[in-house]
Amino acid sequence: MLESVAGVDVHVEGPQGAETIVMVHGWPDTYRLWNAQVAALKQKYRCIRFTLPGFEDPMERRLYTVGEITSLIRQIVEQLCPDRKVTLMAHDWGCVYAYEFYMRNPALVERIVGVDIGEPREMRRDLTARSKFYILGYQVWLAIAWKIGGALGDWMTRKMARWVRARSDPAFIGSRMNYPYFVAWFGGAESFARQTQRFKPACPMLFIYGKRKLFMFHAKGWIEKLAREPGCRVEGFDTGHWVMLQEPGRFNQVALEWLAATDK
């Protein structure tokens, strides 16, 4: 079923009245990132997913702030899940938006599945100088590609997507998707550093991450602490960044086990 919320297409699959999972993707993906998860989860859970605004329409190129994205998630939750808490499932930049949505609206969230991105401020403390150099390089490259736009900006974006082994269809990838990087580095008062809070989950959380990467997007101490919290679980997979695409079977098994264990 396709719904429209604030002009955004929202895909809804699964039993009406069931526990709802709201899925938020990152770069350079679309709602299609979660295809295998929806196929496995929709028998028992109501799955809601959408493409981040500005990510899919090649004619739309504008910056979206943290406040705008978290407000959109709130509108989706309130319109499609009135008077119900939801489970958040997020990856990459989707984690940054979902975590901030939770911090601003904890009463709307039952639990969280975070994929490969931990608490950003904690992560920075564990990074080596080499890792920081890599992050600076690829993120500023993508921010510049957003600013340039057009054929050159799209070429720069697809080249970086190939370099980091992104799994999205290149036909869907373009510089329009890079605004999170531009906001992160050149957003001024609207930057993530100024507009997000330290992520402190007080609800059950499943954190899944890939171990085969140049560096981790989480701090070791952060996942160790999270794993000790009641209702929380941490699982490392022998994959890269796109865990749900590289090991969908095990990902779905772990997610279903944890969801069953934490169901109300």
| 176 DSSP assignment | G
Query: Torsion-angle region of residue 186: left (phi > 0), alpha (psi -120 to 50) or beta?
Result: alpha
pLDDT in tens, the chain (264 residues): 999 999 999 999 999 989 999 999 999 999 999 999 999 999 999 999 999 999 988 777 889 999 999 999 999 999 999 989 999 999 999 999 999 999 999 999 999 999 999 998 888 888 889 899 999 999 999 999 999 999 999 999 999 999 999 999 999 999 999 999 999 999 999 999 899 999 999 999 999 999 999 899 999 999 999 999 999 999 999 999 999 999 999 999 999 999 999 997
**Which CATH code is given to the segment(s) 2-126+198-262?**
3.40.50.1820
pLDDT at site 154? 96
What is residue 10's three-state secondary structure?
strand
Write down the pLDDT at residue 65.
96
Residue 123 confidence (pLDDT): 85
Contact 95/114 with Cβ under 8 angstroms? yes
Domain ranges of the chain: 2-126+198-262
The Cα–Cα gap between 185 and 53 comes to: 20
> How distant, in Å, are the alpha carbons of 3, 10, 210, 264 from that of 81?
12, 13, 31, 16
Q: Taken in order 183, 187, 189, 192, is the CA torsion positive or negative?
A: positive
pLDDT score of 126: 84
203 burial level (CB within 10 Å; 0-12, 13-18, 19+): middle
Using an 8 Å Cβ cutoff, are 17 and 44 in contact?
Answer: no
